[in-house]
Amino acid sequence: MSKPKILIQFDPDNQASTFDSIVAIDSGVDQLLVHGGVMEDDVQGLVHGAIFTRGMEDLKSTALFFGGSNVAVTETLVAKAKSSFFGPMQVSLMADPNGSNTTAAAAVLSAMNHINFANKEVTVLAGTGPVGMRIAHLIAGPATTGSATINVCSRKLAKAKEVCRQIRITVPDAQLIPVETSSPQQAADSVCNAHAVFAAGAAGAELLPQGWENNKNLQVAIDVNGVPPAGIAGIHVMDKAEKHGNIHCYGAIGVGGLKMKIHKRCIQMLFESNRQTLEVEEIFAIGQSI
């Protein structure tokens, strides 16, 4: 008889994300163990508690989920968890801090319904934030042909250059251009030749003013900000492949349906074996199968 499916939620925030907890329950886990305020020094003990309590044949029925609002802090927890495994003594894990991996995957896959990125120009506004970085990473990689030219935008050029450097560590041939967008005019200029634009900024910040819909090359515009004002002026939060002229547009909820399907499917797949690590590229691949 198989053991109950237990998901252990790691969250560095003092109050663990209720969103992540509810999605886990709706994904069909039997037991959810939630740990908030998790620090790096806490991780090994919690992981060892997960891997030493069940026999080898039952380890696939335990899995770890890493959330939290601070992506960098969560990434240190994930790294610590991986280093706490040894030999066959491990369980599957998923990382989705601040929803960045599932949101980026859903945004890129939504765009791919309308555009082939090969040899296209793509602009990622707020490309140095957690979602923007992952959108740029995915488009730069082989899963989307890897031949797009990507404008990685930030209010500070140095930050855009640093993100380009980080992406090239894992995608050496990425065609990335750091772009400063500290003014509305600079933001407008960053999309003047683009075939696709993504806005991945902080909630309630308009990144691209009206007028973008007049760009002749533009085929897709996606705004993942769900709080007014819109990140791309004129896109509504509910837009899902709505056309502004000839441009297919998505708002945060328009992308969110696919994001939720990806998140739930990933949780379910954690329990298929004890050796899975689901981060941005793996999550994107799962999204492609939905």
Which pLDDT does position 146 carry in this prediction?
82
For range 104-108, the mean pLDDT: 98
Q: Which of 72, 96, 92, 69 is nearest to 81 (CA)?
A: 92
pLDDT at 1 over 70: no
Q: What is the mean pLDDT of the chain?
A: 96
CB within 8 A of 227, min separation 6: which ones? 203, 204
Q: Rounded to 5 degrees, what are φ and ψ at 243? A: -100, 125
Distance CA 146, CA 127 (A): 17
Which pLDDT does position 9 carry in this prediction?
98
pLDDT at 2 over 90: no
pLDDT band at 145 (very low <50, low <70, confident <90, very high): confident
pLDDT at 247 over 80: yes
Residue 159 contacts residue 128 (beta carbons within 8 Å): yes
pLDDT tens digits, residue range 175-189?
A: 999 999 999 999 999
Domains of the chain, start order: 6-95 (3.40.50.10280), 102-255 (3.40.50.720)
For range 49-64, the mean pLDDT: 96
Cα torsion 28, 33, 36, 40 to 10°: value is -110
Which pLDDT does position 203 carry in this prediction?
84
pLDDT band at 39 (very low <50, low <70, confident <90, very high): very high
pLDDT tens digits, residue range 184-233?
A: 999 999 999 999 999 999 888 899 999 999 999 999 999 999 888 999 99
- How crowded is residue 86: how many other Cβ atoms within 10 Å of its Cβ? 9
Distance CA 131, CA 94 (A): 16
pTM greater than 0.85: yes
